[in-house]
């Protein structure tokens, strides 16, 4: 059986990404190269990747579809929501709500346009 262990998010400013995700996750993370910053989070790694800062070609660019969310389960959804409201780089898309699966959640865009969703860990739908 395969296990998910890393998610890579595209960013255009590795310093801004490191600061933003530190504020969101409360984890400092580790710079592993000039354009990659890893955050160990709940059993997997979140990797922010800036190809130009890493010395790589940009290629055709890289952007998630507007509905291609990266989901995080969190212990205190309300506290995170209010913390994100104070971060200027966070574009909160909604208030806390319940979706059709019964998950209590909210959506936000990071400074690079990556769609994120934070879900109350007590309401995560696991199929």
CATH superfamily of 1-60: 2,3-Dihydroxybiphenyl 1,2-Dioxygenase, domain 1 (3.10.180.10)
Intervals of CATH 3.10.180.10 along the chain: 1-60, 63-127
CATH topology of domain 63-127: 2,3-Dihydroxybiphenyl 1,2-Dioxygenase; domain 1 (3.10.180)
pLDDT per position as a tens digit, 38-84: 999 878 899 999 999 999 998 887 777 788 899 999 999 999 999 99
Long-range contacts of 75-78 (CB under 8 A, 24+ apart): 75/121, 77/104, 77/105, 77/106, 77/118, 77/119, 77/120
pTM: 0.88
pLDDT more than 70, % of the chain? 99
**Among residues 85, 89, 81, which one has the least CA distance to residue 113?**
89
């Amino acid at each position: 059986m395969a296990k998910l262990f890393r998610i890579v998010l595209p960013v255009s400013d590795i310093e801004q990404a490191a600061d933003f995700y530190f504020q969101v996750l409360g984890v400092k993370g580790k710079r592993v190269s000039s354009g990659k910053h890893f955050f160990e989070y709940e059993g997997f790694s979140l990797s922010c990747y800036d190809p130009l800062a890493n010395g790589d070609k940009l290629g055709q660019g890289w952007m998630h579809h507007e509905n291609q969310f990266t989901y995080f389960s969190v212990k205190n959804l309300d506290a995170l929501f209010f913390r994100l409201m104070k971060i200027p780089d966070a574009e909160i898309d909604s208030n806390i709500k319940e979706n059709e699966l019964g998950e209590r959640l909210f959506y936000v865009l990071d400074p690079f346009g990556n769609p994120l969703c934070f879900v109350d860990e007590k309401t995560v739908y696991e199929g």
